Amino acid sequence: MKTFLKGLTALGLGLGLSFAAQAAEYPIFEPIEQSWSFAGPFGTYDKGQLQRGFQVYREACAACHGLDRVAFRNLAALGYSEQQIIALAAEYEVEDGPDSFGDMFFRPAIPADRFPSPFPNPQAAAAANNGAVPPDLSLMAKARAAERGFPRFVIDIFTQYEALGADYLYSLLQGYQDPPDGYDLQPGTYYNPYFLSGTSLSMPMPFQDGMISYNDGSPETVSQYSRDVAAFLMWAAEPHLETRKRTGFVVMIFLLLFGGLVYMTKRKVWSSVQH
């Protein structure tokens, strides 16, 4: 029996090491750590960067990727006025109905609507993208993150570093490269050593220098586009980040004061008790 248990233990350790090796294989390059305004316990979003990121999404990403969990009215948090949001929503059409005849119909979107998908169904999305369905980007900044090894992931707990997803998206978007010599690149894929699931992916490089014009004088480079849209997708995934951090700070102050009051009360109550 002991021999059997030892065998199972060895097998489990072997499988664990094997899985760990496979998990560590990709990405080949670690995500490039960036300095984000929203990182840390007191981080806040840069509205100018979020507006640029939204522009990048609209002009370069929206043709393939949806934003299904974001409503047009949510853009007020980025600094857009009500009239701007109404005008922006009217540029989109959403399916509604049924009407009095039982048929579905399309109408201009209103602020209460969510961003519509660029494709009517996953099958149409796959047919237009060589069999690959472009994922919805609403929660992408929280759903994708390359884990940092020991001891950094322990330090991250204390520093409240939470930009792993944004770092990964930035690195992926600007990380396309020519494949190394001898690399067998599958047709219809593009080499990217920052990709979490392999060394190549179906999405081509989405940006080129100068392809999107900024009005605020920010650099019109692949790196800047990648940073801005990664920040925007972080906001899309966690729009209440600033409120959460403010609330957490107030709660921590309250707990410190409450703990001090409890300690002083304990000292007062027990001061007259003979020990």
Q: pLDDT by residue (tens digit) across 62-97? A: 999 999 999 999 999 999 999 999 999 999 999 999
Residues pairing with 209 in the sheet? none
Residues 90 and 36 occupy one common structural domain: no
Residues 164 and 102 occupy one common structural domain: no
Mean pLDDT of 19-37: 74
In a domain, 261, yes or no: no
Residues 43 and 109 occupy one common structural domain: no
- The answer to whether residues 93 and 116 touch, using CB atoms and an 8 Å cutoff, is yes
Last residue of a domain, one of 62, 86, 114: 114
- The Cβ of residue 86 has, within 10 Å, a number of other Cβ atoms equal to 16
Mean pLDDT of 149-161: 74
- The answer to whether residues 52 and 228 touch, using CB atoms and an 8 Å cutoff, is yes
Residues 96 and 168 occupy one common structural domain: no
Residues 33 and 169 occupy one common structural domain: yes
Residues 130 and 92 occupy one common structural domain: no
In a domain, 80, yes or no: yes
Residues 103 and 187 occupy one common structural domain: no
What residues have CB less than 8 Å from 65, skipping those under 6 apart?
Answer: 57, 118, 134, 135, 136, 137
Q: What is the distance in angstroms between the CA of the first residue and the CA of the last residue of the chain? A: 55
In a domain, 124, yes or no: yes
Mean pLDDT, the chain, whole residue set: 88
Segments forming the whole domain that contains residue 64: 29-70+118-240
Residues 64 and 82 occupy one common structural domain: no
Residues 146 and 231 occupy one common structural domain: yes
In a domain, 264, yes or no: no
Mean pLDDT of 197-214: 95
Q: Compute the distance between CA of residue 275 and CA of residue 254 in angstroms, rounded to an integer.
A: 32
Mean pLDDT of 44-67: 97
In a domain, 230, yes or no: yes
In a domain, 256, yes or no: no
Mean pLDDT of 93-121: 93
Residues 230 and 101 occupy one common structural domain: no
Q: Compute the distance between CA of residue 170 and CA of residue 106 in angstroms, rounded to an integer.
A: 35
What per-residue confidence (pLDDT) applies to 240? 95
Cα–Cα–Cα angle for 100, 105, 109, nearest 5°?
A: 120
Residues 37 and 165 occupy one common structural domain: yes
pLDDT tens column, 260-275 = 999 999 988 888 777 7
Give the residue among 144, 120, 140 at the shortest CA–CA distance from 195: 144
- The answer to whether residues 16 and 8 touch, using CB atoms and an 8 Å cutoff, is no
* Confidence tier at 160 by pLDDT (50, 70, 90): low
In a domain, 254, yes or no: no
Please give the structure tokens belonging to residue 28. Answer: 């080949």
In a domain, 158, yes or no: yes
Q: Which class for 146: exposed (0-12), middle (13-18), buried (19 or more C-beta within 10 A)?
A: buried
What per-residue confidence (pLDDT) applies to 58? 97
- Sign of torsion, CA 229 233 235 236? positive
- Sign of torsion, CA 207 208 212 218? positive
Residues 100 and 203 occupy one common structural domain: no
Number of domains in the chain: 2
Mean pLDDT of 233-237: 97
